[in-house]
Structure 1
Amino acid sequence: MEAKQIISYIIVPETKSIRAQFNDNGECHSLILEGDYTFKVDMKPVEIIDESLKYYGFDLNGAISGSRAILGPCKAVPVRIPGEINMYWFPHTSPGQEECVWFALHHVEAILPENHDLSKVYVSGGHCFKLNAAEKDLTYKYDRTEKLESRISKRTVNTFSFIMERTTSTYTVEKGKRNYIITRKKDK
């Protein structure tokens, strides 16, 4: 069955991977795996990542710059698509290479070696991608993406802590508009 073809695409939480496909004229397009469906998009994989970031108010250069600020200098940088979608994506090779495959971190289930420079990436739903990349390289990119997710999560989660002297009084803590309000219960 021929995959359906569309003009443009924005990543959704069910999107598992974006990979390149070349037509008879050698033009690069994308194959999207979303849920159990595969379809073609008239955009390069890196263009889909960039357009999805723009849709949510960011862009690829900014996402790469932000990731590098958190992770340090690196190549094939993972990116976060922020907002309600809050997904983390990593490329299997340099995004500048047209044959680059992008994976959604939360859909990757396993990365296994096939031989020295060939690996299999399993994503949710039982789908498998055979890639010309060493398992250790792909695992490193996966781990680096998890590290990015962990660091951003630690920075964005609201934490609440306070120190009080030990007394015999009872206090209540309530969330106010901008701060927490601590009040002492009066003895009766």
Structure 2
Amino acid sequence: MMDKMKKELNGLKQTEIEDYEINSRTMFVEPVVYGSKIYSRVVEVEDEFLLPFKPLDLIKKSCNYYGVDYESRKRGTRQLIGYFRKLSIIIEPTYHIYFFPTVSPLKPECIWIAFEHVECYRRVAAQKTMITFRNKKSHILQVPVSTIEVQMLRTSLLKTKLMQRIESNGRKFFNKANGPQLINASESSLEYDAYSKDPK
């Protein structure tokens, strides 16, 4: 698999960028052999880059950039959905940046895929899946379709659970902030009605 990736580098624009964080345009990150090291091929909506980091290191670096370390993100995923292997990661919830790994992140062949960018997918071989992203571009990845399906479902559950927590906290805050004012407003209304009905 790594040999195949190494050959594919011939067609890749070999732009090395050291100061890069995963963002809302990033569609997937896959490992490639570059020289004697494993680098990251980052595919964005309209561009792609070769970065001098392993995919997992880039995921960790991006988590740190948005203010939360990778281990904390993993613990959060476990707490929200109860899974313990191949954990999806919330890199940045405000911009819906959720990524899932195709195998254990510790394995060198692990690919990270952006949940929000996946439009559809289909099996093309036993260990190959064609993913069509929302920009209508398709990429064949060395991953079984069953893995993509399970990881998409888990990441969807993670997003739903997180949004429920956020909305629940928002309602609590709104009720606390507006509760006393609503009571006062009701009292004022009652007083107004009492005065308006008083013949004096």
Q: TM-score, normalized by length of structure 1?
A: 0.83
Structure 1 residues 65-74 or 77-86, which shifts more?
77-86
1:102 aligns to what? 112
Amino acid in structure 1 at the alignment position of 2:29: I
Q: Which has the larger radius of gyration?
A: 2
- CA change 1:65–1:177 in 2 (3 A) is closer
| Structure 1 residues without counterparts, runs of 5 or longer | 162-174
Q: CA deviation at 1:3?
A: 3.3
Q: Does 1:178 align with 2:177?
A: yes
Structure 1 residues 72-81 or 44-53, which shifts more?
72-81
Structure 1 residues 42-51 or 111-120, which shifts more?
111-120
Aligned counterpart for 1:45 among listed residues 29, 37, 55: 55
Q: CA deviation at 1:59?
A: 1.2
1:159 aligns to what? 171
How many matched pairs? 174
Q: CA deviation at 1:179?
A: 4.0
Q: Does 1:6 align with 2:34?
A: no
Aligned counterpart for 1:76 among listed residues 73, 77, 86: 86
Q: Deviations over 1:39-66 (max 9, x none)?
A: 1111111111101111111111111111
- CA change 1:136–1:52 in 2 (3 A) is same
Amino acid in structure 2 at the alignment position of 1:91: P
Tell me the C-alpha RMSD between the 2 structures: 2.2
Relative to its length, the structure with more helix (as a share) is: 2
Does the 8 Å CA contact 1:32/1:38 hold for their aligned counterparts?
A: yes
Q: Does 1:130 align with 2:129?
A: no
Relative to its length, the structure with more strand (as a share) is: 1
Aligned counterpart for 2:26 among listed residues 15, 26, 29: 15
Does the 8 Å CA contact 1:8/1:41 hold for their aligned counterparts?
A: no
Q: CA deviation at 1:129?
A: 2.7
Amino acid in structure 2 at the alignment position of 1:121: I
Structure 1 residues 68-77 or 127-136, which shifts more?
127-136
1:165 aligns to what? none
1:146 aligns to what? 156
Work out the percentage of aligned pairs sharing the same amino acid.
Answer: 22
- CA change 1:12–1:61 in 2 (3 A) is same
Amino acid in structure 2 at the alignment position of 1:178: A
